Chain A
């Protein structure tokens, strides 16, 4: 009998998994738990790799990974012990690359989670995080602030914050109007889409008015309209990262309630969910998440629309699997997109939203052609 090699053992393991799937009495719950663990392990592993690549490569050139890790740890050590005497590489990695990397993970995951939540609640394949008019409201206010050149008293000496703060206010105002109109017209899913769309149109048209008023200083706001991580610092990276982690955890806890929604509102209500309250809370949560992401890095399309769909195609309809997968894939896509944005045409920076679409579209089109027939998203 030939000795069993690694390869044949691997093949046996793979066959074992296939047999698992074909046995009639295998526990579907156990299979799901297995897949969940796989997603988490694979996600952490890939994120770690992407993270290392992201801090090692940039427009300044490539630092060997080992050196980058060393510099990162020594910089963190120094910052904890209060030593401000960082060398060039440490300074660069700790103050420029690390916050930017953290912000791209947070925004990628945040947009994907928000998109996934909206899609589960509104049950329409075209829904993305900007469906409630948040991005248009934020864009309109950002443009107005730039065109009219107004400043906020307590932010007078920190102009970097003017656009984010104004954008967040605009996004929340737009969402409040959408919510009022949608609830006033009965609060059904279609009402939400319609209300969000018209509010979005209104704010976009006001935005073009301000755009033609403030032709001279448009460059200040252009980075924002196309999305960029260039203005991320330690101070604002946390403002995005912490809420994203919190809201992602909440969204995962709600996974079974999102599953109920796939049967429609009447059935969800009949099975014991207070549908109106749940929808309202989810909408507000997802919109706050979107507004936070949009405020600091601008409008990055595609991720929130396509990442949840791709996960649905690959994993089925259970949000206990789709939610974590969306978080991981969204974060990774954004990391690589930002990496490409700052390196491809270096030293010039490309709009990151364009990159996400360029990477994502072929992948998504391929999946759609392979799995789309069996997918009624």
Chain B
């Protein structure tokens, strides 16, 4: 077996916005086939870190390597073949149809100036069938339900065939059923060659599906590891300033129940 470089290796990553330190020296390393949960309060740097990895932002210092390649030294179109990004919301989509949007994920791969080739279309249709949105292909994204839209966004990232997929709060607008469905899709993808990093506020959901959890606070990593080991009442109080009950249900799954916020922390 050859020595394969890790899917993601971050060394000393910092990011400053107008004097505000959003990330204060992040070190991380992950192999392939993992579902990684990124947890932390609002403004702790989760989204900033993901945007640095996918080159939407440029980091202030430090290095980010994906599959052994330094992303800050690569062309954006090359990064797009390694890293895909699923935004929290589709935003205003200007009348684009579901299939057109999913097909945009093939943009980095199309050499010809204009039309995608049959192979691109085959990959796109297959992804749409996998995520159960093939019947919506001519529907406008803006007219889809939140669940459909989220699946379309994930499908768009999936057809990029990335090594690393970054997913930002995928379930924040979804009801319980779709939350479970989206997490199952993400888990299934991570069982293939892909590593998936998902940022999310629902800690119970993260603890249940993720192989590894990364806990962040104020631009720093507080804990990394198996969710069952690292998520404790003490950690929740440290990170979120909330008293919570952490326990195991009858199936042995972790649940986190917030009780009250720490006096004077607001």
Interface residues, chain A, CB within 8 Å of chain B? 24, 27-29, 32-33, 120, 123, 253, 255-256, 259-260, 262-264, 266-267, 269-274, 312, 316-318, 320, 374-377
A262 to B99 alpha-carbon distance, docked (Å): 13
A376 to B90 alpha-carbon distance, docked (Å): 13
Q: A33-B115, A263-B96 are in contact. Are A272 and B87 (CB under 8 A)?
A: no
Which interface residue of A27, A28, A316 has the most chain B CB atoms within 10 A? Answer: A28
B-side contacts of A32, CB under 8 Å: 115
B-side contacts of A33, CB under 8 Å: 115
Task: Return the contact of B92 from the options A29, A123, A318, A375 (Cβ within 8 A).
Answer: A123
> Is B76's CB under 8 angstroms from A274's CB?
yes
- Bitwise interface map of B from 109 to 128 toward A, beta carbon under 8 Å scored 1, else 0: 01001111110110000000
Can you show 28 pairs from A to B with CB atoms below 8 A apart?
A123-B92, A259-B96, A259-B100, A259-B104, A262-B93, A262-B95, A263-B104, A266-B56, A267-B85, A269-B56, A270-B55, A270-B56, A270-B84, A271-B80, A271-B104, A271-B107, A271-B160, A272-B77, A272-B79, A272-B107, A273-B76, A316-B95, A316-B96, A316-B97, A317-B140, A318-B100, A376-B92, A376-B143
Which A residue's beta carbon lies closest to that of B107? A271
We find that the number of chain B residues with CB closer than 8 angstroms to chain A is: 44
> Is B108's CB under 8 angstroms from A272's CB?
yes
Which A residue's beta carbon lies closest to that of B85? A270
A29 to B113 alpha-carbon distance, docked (Å): 14
> Is B96's CB under 8 angstroms from A267's CB?
no
> Is A376's CB under 8 angstroms from B80's CB?
no
> Is B137's CB under 8 angstroms from A28's CB?
yes
> Is A374's CB under 8 angstroms from B140's CB?
yes
A-side contacts of B107, CB under 8 Å: 256, 260, 271-273
Q: Which 8 A-B pairs have the closest CB atoms?
A: A272-B77, A272-B80, A317-B96, A262-B94, A376-B142, A317-B95, A272-B76, A270-B85
B-side contacts of A317, CB under 8 Å: 93-97, 100, 140
A264 to B142 alpha-carbon distance, docked (Å): 14
B-side contacts of A255, CB under 8 Å: 114
A33 to B134 alpha-carbon distance, docked (Å): 20
Task: Return the contact of B105 from the options A120, A271, A320 (Cβ within 8 A).
Answer: A271
B-side contacts of A269, CB under 8 Å: 55-56, 76
Task: Return the contact of B108 from the options A271, A316, A377 (Cβ within 8 A).
Answer: A271
A29 to B106 alpha-carbon distance, docked (Å): 13
A-side contacts of B110, CB under 8 Å: 256
> Is B91's CB under 8 angstroms from A264's CB?
yes
Which A residue's beta carbon lies closest to that of B160? A271
Which interface residue of A24, A33, A270, A272 has the most chain B CB atoms within 10 A? Answer: A270
